[in-house]
Amino acid sequence: MKKGMLTLMIFSIIFALAACGKSTEGKTETNQPAQAQTEQTQSEQAPADSLQLLKDEKAGEYLADSQGKALYYFKNDEAGKSNCSGDCLANWPAFTQEDFAVPESFYKKDFDTITREDNGEKQVTYKGFPLYYFAKDQQEGDVNGQGVKDVWFVVNSETEFE
């Protein structure tokens, strides 16, 4: 008898907790076709996951992630291959976000991914060249990596790779 009461009590608590959730979420999930749910989710996420074009007095316009952190390229990389690993990767973490919208002056087709040889992780590329963050950029608008050792540069729509 005690076991049955305990089970009933647990189910009652679960039911009460479920009832406390937003009722519109449940209705949305059960009443919309799967495709409509996917489109709604994508449109809701697009602004939050969009890359953005920011401007710095010295660096000019540059590409940043959705939090405003600058994206860089490494002049010593090759198209489709990263030459930054170990300590380099600790200072210049790979940009790995795969789902994002791009600013007007960019084309989504110019973005792709490579699989890194050192750790097997995917890294986003722009026109074939891997993208990175700079560890010393602590907040939105920082471009402390611009021009470091004359091989690290912010990315913009005018970026030319050699």
For the chain, list the strands marked E by DSSP: 52-56, 60-64, 72-74, 111-115, 122-126, 129-130, 152-154
Cα angle: 155, vertex 77, 59; to 5 degrees: 25
Average pLDDT over residues 77-105: 95
pTM of the model: 0.70
Residue ranges per domain, the chain?
Answer: 52-154
161, two tokens: 């790779």
Residue predicted with more confidence, 162 or 84: 84
Across 18-22, 49-53, 86-90, least confident range: 18-22
pLDDT at 78: 95
Buried b (16+ CB within 10 A) or exposed e, 1-20: eeeeeeeeeeeeeeeeeeee
Residue predicted with more confidence, 9 or 156: 156
Distance (Å, whole) CA 113 – CA 130: 8
Cα 34 to Cα 25, 29, 38, distances in angstroms: 14, 8, 6
Beta bridge partners of 10: none
Q: Is the pLDDT of residue 50 over 80?
A: yes
